[in-house]
């Protein structure tokens, strides 16, 4: 699922589409594209995979596969990506791996919580960690530091986007699980 998700992301969001969407929505940057599109997409892929597999390490493996497949596809086919997001670079792999680690940790630690609450919490926190990593490691090299006044708005969008994506992933995983069980 991680590999398929990476190819879908590459297909749906060509170079310049995310930054243009952010521009159209008049959102501040840097980070709006990450919290609004890339993070929620990653949450959908990673949490759905984890809920379908129901085994330890599902989220981490899905995110690693996503990062590696995306990077390989970009390098092999020479697909142009947005340089601001550093998609397909080593720091991109590090960001997605960190995202997977955080998601895996929350899923493992929140065993007592309900599946819905765990998915929503994982979505929000993993999206926040991804945004902070981009702000501290990637954006200073590509675009520049985020302005203090933009942080509350971007963090708010990040948490809401993560919650919504986590909820959608939980909703989608139910019917998918049933389909897989029927086939088995």
Q: Which residues are at the interface with other proteins (CB under 8 A)?
A: 8, 11-24, 27-34, 82, 84-85, 143, 179, 182
Min dist CB 39 to other proteins, Å, is 12
Closest Cα to residue 100, out of 108, 89, 112, 110?
A: 108
Q: Could you tell me what percentage of the chain is helix, strand and coil, using 3-state DSSP and rounding each to the nearest 5?
A: 80, 0, 20
Query: Cβ closer to other proteins: 85 or 166?
Result: 85
Kindly tell me which of 19 and 97 has the beta carbon lying closer to other proteins.
Answer: 19
CB of 109 to other proteins, least distance (A): 32
- Measured between alpha carbons, how far is 39 from 44 in angstroms, rounded to an integer? 9
The residue among 88 and 118 lying less far from other proteins, judged by its C-beta, is 88
> CB–CB of 147/178 below 8 Å?
no
Minimum distance of other proteins from residue 30's CB (angstroms): 5
């Amino acid at each position: 699922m991680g590999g398929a998700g990476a190819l879908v992301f590459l297909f749906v969001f060509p170079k310049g589409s995310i930054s243009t969407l952010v521009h159209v929505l008049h959102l501040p940057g840097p980070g709006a594209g990450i919290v609004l599109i890339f993070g929620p997409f990653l949450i959908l892929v990673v949490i759905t995979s984890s809920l379908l597999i129901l085994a330890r390490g599902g989220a981490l493996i899905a995110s690693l596969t996503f990062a590696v497949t995306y990077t390989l596809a970009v390098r092999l086919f020479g697909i142009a990506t947005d340089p601001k997001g550093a998609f397909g670079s080593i720091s991109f792999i590090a960001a997605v791996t960190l995202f997977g680690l955080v998601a895996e940790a929350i899923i493992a630690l929140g065993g007592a919580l309900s599946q819905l609450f765990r998915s929503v919490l994982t979505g929000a926190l993993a999206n926040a960690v991804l945004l902070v990593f981009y702000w501290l490691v990637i954006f200073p090299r590509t675009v520049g530091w985020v302005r203090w006044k933009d942080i509350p708005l971007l963090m708010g969008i990040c948490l809401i986007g993560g919650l919504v994506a986590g909820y959608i992933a939980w909703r989608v995983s139910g019917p998918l699980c049933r389909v897989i069980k029927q086939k088995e």
